[in-house]
Structure 1
Amino acid sequence: MRAGVVVAARPGVEELAARAEELGLHSFWVNDTPMVHGDPFVALSLCAKATSRIRLGICVTSPALRSAPAAASGLASLNALAPGRISCGVGTGNTARRTLGMRPTTTARLERFTAALQDLCAGRSTEYREGDRIRDIRFLHAGAQVNTADPIEFVVAALLGPKAAAVAGRRGTGLISVGMLDPTAWHALHETRRHAAQDARRDPDSPMESRAKSYVLTSLHLLDEDEDPDGDAARDATGHLVLSLLAFAADTAADASPFFDQLGPEERDAVRRLLDRRGTTPTAPDRHIKLYPGYLGRIAPQDRDLVLPSLMNALALVGTRDDLLTRITALEQAGVDELLIQPVVDPPAEMARLAQLLT
């Protein structure tokens, strides 16, 4: 299986990208969460100049954050800096919108956005709408400013259900998901994508469709001999994913969302403790200000007790080398093409361990 990393956009990120390339990793992604992380287009511009082979991706942008013309311009500009090496995840903005105190957009809007990006980034015209006004648009500048000749890879974020996988099927894109390590769930997503492609009269077995790849984003901790799998080191390496899930549950607990009710008693108690610890409630209008600082960054030691073993096992890969390879092989057999990790404790060392494991 291929291997890659996802990091927060920040100064110096290009040094990590160069190191990832040296290690033989396949891809290097940065988050697009404006109120939490730096700008991904700025970060990847630096990475493009510091690397020559590794793929560079945005994980993930959304029509609720950026208009299609603005996003396409940024992507095609990156493609001019790193021809044929650009990937872009697209989603409803589940995290990036919630950090603004807003709800994600709809899958219908996501599909229109994805189609517009595909058209514009390939040099085609597309329909653009503002209110009742509809116009055809396309890039009007030519030459070295943007690159529409080399293909950009698009992947749809499928987090909570099959609708996004169906969008991927109809649009001929790949899939990306966070913490979804159940091979059965991946089989279901791929079946949904395949059926949607057939319904859209796309041939799921054509060479173009076969290039659509699937990515799973997780965290990885390789245990030393006799190391406690629930110890501090494992919790620090995986806690950012666990707390992201708890924050989502806390943020949506009052929205009649089935997600909170599907959690077990211990997990629901952890959500309540997180809310109390952050000094907010499920209905506070400013809860996003309290829940998301430091989102997807290294957790504080005082929050280690919230990193429950049940959630670590569900969302992250913790184990011996043989344990990890067994789980990764099962994901590969379920159609996952690339394992992405988000290193937060010691990124260079964590990238090196990933490379040793998979490259």
Structure 2
Amino acid sequence: MRAGVVFAARPGVEDLAVRAEELGLHSFWVNDTPMVHGDPFVALSLCAKATSRIRLGIGVTSPALRSAPAAASGLASLNALAPGRIICGVGTGNTARRTLGMRPTTAARLEEFTVALQDLCAGRRTEYREGDRVRDIRFLHAGPYVNTADPIEFVVAALLGPKAAGVAGRRGTGLISFGLLDPTAWRALHDTRRHAAQGAAHGLVAHPGSQADSYVVTSLHLLGEGEDPQGDAARDATGHLVLSLLAFAADTAAETPAFADQLGPEAREAVNRLLERRGTTATAPDRHIMLYPNYLGRIAPQDRDLVLPSLLSALALIGTRDELLARIATLERAGVDELLIQPVVDPPAEMAVLAQLLA
């Protein structure tokens, strides 16, 4: 299986991209979460100039954050700096919207956005709508300004629901998911994508040579001899995924209580403790301000008790070398093409472990 890494967009991230390329990793991604991290287009511009081989991804942007013309201009500009190396993840904007106190957009709007990006980034006209006004648009400044000749890889963010996977199938794109380590769930997503593709019209692929790969974002900790898989080191390296899930459950507890209920009583209690520690409630209108600071950053020592073993096992890869390779092989058989990790403790060292593990 291929390997890549995901980081928060910030100045200096290009140094990590250079190291990832030196280690032979396949891709380097940054998040598009405006009120939490820096701008991904700025960050990837720095990475594009500092590297020559590694693929560069945005994971993920959304029509609820950016208009299609603005996003396409950023993508095609990156493609001019790093021809053929750009990957664009698109989604409903779940986290990035919730950090603004807003809800994500719809699958229908996501599909319209994906269509427009595919058309524009391949140099084609597309339909652009504002209210009742609809116009055809295309790049008027191609050539030396943006690159529409080399393909950009598009992937749609999907969890367990079939709608996003259906968009991927109809649009001929790949898939990306976060913390989804269940092979059965991956097979279901691939089945949905395949069926949607079979029912779609011909000629929907974004660009000749475009890909439809599957990526899973997780975290990884290789255990030392005799190390406790639920010890502080393992929780510090991977607990940010658990905290992100608990924050989501806390944020949506009032509007979708079924999600928190599915996590079980122990997790529901952890959600309540998280709300109490952050000084907010499940119905406070400003709870997003309290829940999302340091989102996907290294967890604080006082929050280690919130990293429940059951959630850690479900969301992260922790084990000996043989145990990790066995879980990764199972994901590969389920159709996952690339493993993306989010290092937070010692990124260079964690990237080196990943590279050695999958060498």
Look up the match of 2:97.
97
Paired with 1:64 and 1:111, the residues of 2 have a C-alpha distance of 12
> In the alignment, what sits opposite 1:252?
252
Say if 1:12 and 1:340 are closer, same or farther in 2 by CA, change over 3 A.
Answer: same
Shift of the alpha carbon at 1:142?
A: 2.5
Is the 1:203–1:209 Cα contact (8 Å) retained in structure 2? no
One-letter code aligned to 1:15 = D
Structure 2 CA distance for aligned equivalents of residues 177 and 201 of structure 1: 26
What is the aligned-residue RMSD (CA, Å)? Answer: 1.4
CA distance in structure 1 between the partners assigned to 2:208 and 2:192 by the alignment: 18
- For 1:148, the equivalent position in structure 2 comes to 148
Aligned partner of 2:23 in structure 1 is 23
Paired with 1:163 and 1:257, the residues of 2 have a C-alpha distance of: 21
Q: Counterparts of 1:208 and 1:266 in 2: how far apart (Å)?
A: 49
Deviation at residue 256 of structure 1 after TM alignment: 3.0
Partner of 1:49: 49
Q: How does 1:118-133 map to 2 (within 5 A)?
A: 118-133=118-133
Query: How far apart, in 2, do the equivalents of 1:340 and 1:180 lie?
Result: 11
> Could you list the runs of 5+ residues in structure 1 that have no partner in the other structure?
none
Equivalent position amino acid for 1:321 in 2: R
Q: How many residues align?
A: 357
User: What code does the residue aligned with 1:112 have?
Assistant: E
2:347 matched to 1:354?
no
Q: Deviation of residue 144 (structure 1)?
A: 1.4
| Distance in 2 between residues matched to 1:86 and 1:39, nearest whole Å | 16
1:202 offset after TM fit, Å? 5.0
The question of whether the paired residues in 1 share the 8 Å contact of 2:343 and 2:351 is answered with: yes
The answer as to 2:233 corresponding to 1:220 is no
What is the deviation of 1:211?
Answer: 3.0
Q: How does 1:102-251 map to 2 (within 5 A)?
A: 102-202=102-202, 211-251=211-251
Paired residue secondary structure (1:296): coil
Could you say if the C-alpha distance between residues 150 and 203 of structure 1 is closer, same or farther in structure 2, counting changes exceeding 3 Å? closer
Query: In terms of mean alpha carbon deviation, does 136-145 or 66-75 score higher?
Result: 136-145
Taking the aligned partners of 2:111 and 2:260, their CA distance within structure 1 comes to 27
Distance 2:10 2:96 in 1: 17
Partner letter of residue 143 of structure 1?
G
Name 1:8's counterpart in structure 2. 8
Whole-angstrom distance in 2 between the partners of 1:92 and 1:61: 8
Distance 1:147 1:22 in 2: 26
CA contact (8 A) 2:119 2:125 kept: yes
Structure 2: runs of 5 or more not aligned: none
8 Å contact kept, 2:151–2:208: no
**Residues 153 and 210, structure 2, Cα contact 8 Å, conserved in 1:** no
| SS across alignment from 1:96 | helix
Q: Distance in 2 between matches of 1:177 and 1:258?
A: 21
Task: Note the alpha carbon deviations across 1:21-41, whole angstroms, 9 max, x for none.
Answer: 000000000000000000000
What's the CA shift for 1:210?
Answer: 8.7
Partner Cα separation in structure 2 for residue 160 and residue 268 of structure 1: 20
Question: Does structure 2 conserve the Cα–Cα contact (< 8 Å) formed by 1:80 and 1:146?
Answer: yes
Look up the match of 1:339: 339
The structure-2 alpha-carbon separation of the partners of 1:140 and 1:203, relative to structure 1 and needing over 3 Å to count, comes to closer
The 3-state SS of whatever aligns with 1:350 is helix
Describe the SS at the equivalent of 1:119. Answer: helix
Comparing 259-268 with 20-29, greater Cα deviation is found at 259-268
Deviation at 1:263, TM superposition (A): 1.2
Q: What is the identity, as a one-letter code, of the residue corresponding to 1:211? A: Q
Q: d(CA) in 1 for partners of 2:88 and 2:240?
A: 23
1:87 aligns with 2:87: yes
Report if aligned partners of 1:172, 1:209 keep a CA contact under 8 Å in 2. no
Q: Which amino acid counterpart does residue 269 of structure 2 have in structure 1? A: D
SS of 1:326's partner is helix
The residue number in structure 1 matching 2:263 is: 263
In structure 2, the CA distance between the partners of 1:208 and 1:324, relative to structure 1 (3 Å rule), is farther
One-letter code aligned to 2:129: R
Q: Partner amino acid for 1:279?
A: G
8 Å CA contact 2:153, 2:211 repeated in 1 = no
Report the 3-state secondary structure (helix = DSSP H, G, I; strand = E; otherwise coil) of the residue aligned with 1:225: coil
Distance in 1, matches of 2:77 and 2:199, equals 34
Aligned to 1:75: 75
Instruction: Verify: 1:279 aligned to 2:259, yes or no.
Output: no
After TM superposition, give the deviation of residue 143 of structure 1 in Å.
1.8
Q: Is the 8 A contact 1:170 1:202 kept in 2?
A: no
**For residues 203 and 148 of structure 1, do their structure 2 counterparts lie closer, same or farther at Cα, with a shift above 3 Å needed?**
closer
The aligned residue for residue 316 of structure 2 is 316
Change (3 A) 1:66 1:203: closer
C-alpha displacement of 1:209: 9.0
Q: TM-score, normalised by structure 1?
A: 0.98
Q: Using the TM superposition, give the Cα deviation of residue 208 of structure 1 relative to its aligned residue in structure 2, in angstroms.
A: 6.7
**Distance across 2 between alignment mates of 1:85 and 1:164:** 24
